[in-house]
Amino acid sequence: MDHQGCNKPSNQAVLDFVAKVAKLTTPDQVFWIDGSEAEKQSLYDQAVADGILMKLNQEKLPGCYYGRSNPNDVARVEQLTFICTPTREEAGPTNNWAAPAEMHTKLNGLLAGCMKGRTMYVIPYLMGPAGSPLTKVGIEITDSIMVVLNMRIMARIGALAYKHLGGGDDFNRGIHSMLDINPERRFIVHFPQENTIVSVGSNYGGNVLLGKKCLALRIGSYLGRNEGWMAEHMLLLCVENPQGKKAYVAAAFPSACGKTNFAMMIPPAHFNGWKITTIGDDIAWMRPGPDGRLYAINPEAGYFGVAPGTNYKSNPNAMKTIAKDTIYTNVALTEDLDVWWEGKDGPVPAKLTDWKGNPWTPASTEKAAHPNSRFTAPMANNPVLASEVEAAAGVPISAIIFGGRRASTMPLVMEAFSWSHGVYLGASMGSEMTAAAVGGAGQVRRDPMAMLPFAGYDMGEYFGHWLQMGKALKFAPQIYHVNWFRKDKDGNFMWPGFGENMRVLKWVVERCEGTAGAYETPVGRMPLPCEFDVEGLDGFTKESFEAVQKIDKEEWKKELLLQTEFFLTLNRTLPKELVFERELLASRIS
């Protein structure tokens, strides 16, 4: 039964786990993934033969493949995502909860016999560089060849995971079955106490690449609280100044606010000699180091990014990253099997096949690419990949940046007065929803630390853990809040964004080094207008800077009410530090 793949481990706990799942799901065969190049090619060939993937134009896009998902399965499903802790309180008011025993019974019913006629793949993987004390081992069992091919880009897979695990049983147990890709039978379920994830009924990355959102954020945040570290929805980058001095920055923005663009940013010509390199674009695992600083790793090995809007202006390095060895999902296809999406460079092609497989022309009323169409690309392709990405000890973080998409109220940049004020800035973070999201366009949804869909336990306790971590650090990073999206009264963006965000980043790192000035406002410290570099910015003057930094007390009073409304929902466990921070803010803006 298990003759394929040559990576059957000797670890008894893994063998027992796989045997138990095989007994329940009754696959025709078990395929032990070894992560080799030969295996990769045979899996791609199999996926093409089965009609699951299509080979793209290999002259234009060497090593690239294309897949379409079921139209009912194109995004993460927060309403079907569960945290099954022994009590509802442990999961907290921002998560869906079910009792673990009940949920196991329900899932076992769905899993019984579900792999009959299918191959069961066993993927051993590492989240984090081999040899890092922060790295975790996962075993994902799946009946989807798409999951195997995407996982081999997004994580370090194969024998190295068994080596890291040794003879122990400390690994995340992940079970995935597509079932019949039916939203009625779709559940993404986490059992934090059992270090187990069960995902059924979907084949979409965020729901099924279990190392990513499920392990690295939801289970990771739970493990981090117990073990004294942090799992965060953050990009990680290195800024190098013209003197060769490096600083490392982590930044949390909600989904679709430009994390990948920021992580791969090219400093504009004005910043001759400055360099940005990428450590991660989505997830950071951080823990205090022996010197009292906070050290971070990127647990992932690839980028699972949104294609629409990606182009040579918004992110030239991403365009280069996805030019080879990439899997595209739900984008549009040109006649010569190249990929296309809304916002790609160049003229709109006269004829395309859209993400559903239908003919498309510029006259069509529907989008050619799904708005959440994706690329899965190895980080090794990134022209500005930081060498530190493999550093087992991680990199010492100087600054943490929080940010959202806000048309009003929030200035371009401000610095927190202290760690607890910084935690408050993160905890009260909000971002405007797009027209597609429930709740209506322009409405601000609170998304604390960009972790609303990803915290694996009670949100108030999670804030408490942040405050605890500050106490565990001798040299805690300085915390900032940014908003690239403020608009003037005519609805125009007040800040050019993209590469010009380098001006804000420069102030941030120079503050951390103690070489840039600041002044205090009721909401945070701000760059001195006489110091903030606006040279070479077309039409953007010192006055424009003051306008984008303006604090409108009336707007802030409304903001405070909205923050209070959100905090009330977390009332049971909201740390008192945050209550006091809110009171201080209220008195400063009154």
Q: Which of 84, 114, 238, 257 is catalytic?
A: 257
C-beta of 253: minimal distance to Mn ion in Å?
A: 9
C-beta of 217: minimal distance to Mn ion in Å?
A: 8
Q: What share of the chain is helix, strand, coil (3-state, %, to 5)?
A: 35, 20, 45
Site string for ligand OXD, 244-273 (x = CB under 6 A): -----------x------------------
Does 282 participate in binding Mn ion (rule CB under 5 A)? yes
> Token digits for 256?
């679709």
Termini Cα distance of the chain = 72
- 3-state class (DSSP) for residue 183: helix
> Token digits for 372?
């959440």
C-beta of 403: minimal distance to Mn ion in Å?
A: 14
What DSSP letter does each residue of 529-543 carry, written as one string?
TTTS--TT-TT--HH
What DSSP letter does each residue of 1-14 carry, written as one string?
---BSS-----HHH
Number of residues this chain uses to bind ligand OXD (CB under 6 A): 5
Q: Of the two residues 7 and 329, which places its CB atom closer to ligand OXD in the complex?
A: 329
- Residues 301-340 contacting ligand OXD, CB under 6 A: 304
In a 10 Å sphere around its CB, with 0-12 CB exposed, 13-18 middle and 19+ buried, how is residue 297 labelled?
buried
Q: Of the two residues 282 and 338, which places its CB atom closer to ligand OXD in the complex?
A: 282
CB 72 within 8 A of CB 439: no
Whole-number Å distance between alpha carbons of 226 and 390: 25
C-beta of 210: minimal distance to ligand OXD in Å?
A: 14
Q: Which ranges of 309-403 would DSSP assign to H, the alpha helix? A: 316-321
Q: Of the two residues 76 and 152, which places its CB atom closer to ligand OXD in the complex?
A: 76
Whether 257 sits among the annotated catalytic residues: the reply is: yes
Q: Of the two residues 81 and 478, which places its CB atom closer to ligand OXD in the complex?
A: 81
Nearest to 54 by CA among 66, 42, 69, 41: 66
- Residues 127-146 contacting ligand OXD, CB under 6 A: none
What DSSP letter does each residue of 499-513 carry, written as one string?
GGHHHHHHHHHHHHH
**Which listed option, Mn ion, ligand OXD, none, makes contact with residue 186 (CB within 5 to 8 Å by class)?**
none
Q: Looking at beta carbons, which residue is closest to Mn ion?
A: 282
> Token digits for 124?
């051993």
C-beta of 374: minimal distance to ligand OXD in Å?
A: 8
Site string for ligand OXD, 182-221 (x = CB under 6 A): ------------------------x---------------
- Residues 407-436 contacting ligand OXD, CB under 6 A: none
Q: Of the two residues 56 and 74, which places its CB atom closer to Mn ion in the complex?
A: 74
Q: Of the two residues 75 and 337, which places its CB atom closer to ligand OXD in the complex?
A: 75
Q: Of the two residues 304 and 355, which places its CB atom closer to ligand OXD in the complex?
A: 304
CA gyration radius, the chain: 24
**Which listed option, Mn ion, ligand OXD, none, makes contact with residue 206 (CB within 5 to 8 Å by class)?**
ligand OXD
**Which listed option, ligand OXD, Mn ion, none, makes contact with residue 182 (CB within 5 to 8 Å by class)?**
none
- Max CA separation in the chain (angstroms): 72
**Which listed option, ligand OXD, Mn ion, none, makes contact with residue 34 (CB within 5 to 8 Å by class)?**
none
C-beta of 283: minimal distance to ligand OXD in Å?
A: 8
Nearest to 483 by CA among 249, 258, 271, 240: 258
Nearest to 444 by CA among 485, 397, 416: 485
What DSSP letter does each residue of 235-271 carry, written as one string?
EEEEEE-TT--EEEEEEE--TTSSHHHHHTPPPPGGG
**Which listed option, ligand OXD, Mn ion, none, makes contact with residue 76 (CB within 5 to 8 Å by class)?**
ligand OXD
CB 383 within 8 A of CB 320: yes
C-beta of 398: minimal distance to ligand OXD in Å?
A: 24
Residues that bind Mn ion (CB under 5 A): 282
Residues that bind ligand OXD (CB under 6 A): 76, 206, 255, 282, 304
Q: Which residues are catalytic?
A: 257
